[in-house]
């Protein structure tokens, strides 16, 4: 009887140690850095507006080409339907140029995409929002 209790007391910690090693081997390893050629956003925007959460990413894809991805999650009390695109305006910070509106393509519920070419390299501001409520982010076009 004493031998069964002693082997059980010894066996449980060994079983726990074996489970710990098995869990460590099966779980995914540390996240590696993305590939050098992988796209990284030039700017990321996430802001809570009165009508809901607006999120956007600007990708510079080379030779002043860009792609903008916008997501809008309306609040439960919002009057803005998730199918209504936000206003997206790009303007240069150092020039006194009027901003230009971005045509958006609906790619999913509350999700839009735009792409094009920036007219000039430099620092740009992207404004995204509805009516008088908007969020902005600064990015470099190279």
> What are the pLDDT digits (tens) for 76-105?
999 998 889 999 999 998 876 667 878 899
Q: Is 30 part of any domain? A: no
State how far the Cα of 112 lies from the Cα of 71, in Å rounded to an integer: 6
Residue 86's φ and ψ, nearest 5 degrees, are -75, 165
Q: Is 78 part of any domain? A: yes
- pLDDT (0 to 100) of residue 38: 62
Mean pLDDT score, 31-41: 61
Q: Is 47 part of any domain? A: yes
- pLDDT (0 to 100) of residue 116: 94
Is 0.75 surpassed by the pTM of this model? no
Instruction: Find the CATH number of the domain harbouring 67.
Output: 2.60.40.10
Mean pLDDT of the chain: 82
How many domains does the chain fold into? Answer: 1
State how far the Cα of 55 lies from the Cα of 99, in Å rounded to an integer: 20
Instruction: List all residues 6 or more positions away from 114 whose beta carbon is below 8 Å from its beta carbon.
Output: 67, 68, 70, 88, 102, 103, 104, 105
Structural domain boundaries enclosing 70: 43-141
State how far the Cα of 91 lies from the Cα of 16, in Å rounded to an integer: 60
Q: Is 18 part of any domain? A: no
């Amino acid at each position: 009887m004493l031998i069964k209790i002693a082997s059980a007391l010894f066996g449980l910690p060994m079983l726990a140690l074996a489970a710990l090693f098995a869990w460590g081997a099966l779980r995914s390893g540390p996240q590696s850095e993305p590939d050098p050629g992988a796209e990284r956003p030039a700017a990321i925007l996430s802001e809570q507006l009165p009508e809901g959460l607006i999120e956007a990413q600007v990708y510079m894809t080379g030779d002043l080409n860009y792609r903008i991805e916008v997501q809008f999650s309306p609040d439960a009390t919002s009057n803005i339907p998730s199918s209504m695109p936000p206003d997206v305006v790009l303007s240069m910070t150092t020039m006194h140029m009027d901003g230009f509106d971005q045509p958006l393509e609906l790619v999913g519920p509350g999700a839009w995409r735009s792409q094009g070419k920036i007219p000039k390299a430099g620092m740009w501001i992207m404004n995204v929002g509805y009516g008088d409520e908007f969020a902005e982010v600064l990015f470099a076009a190279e």
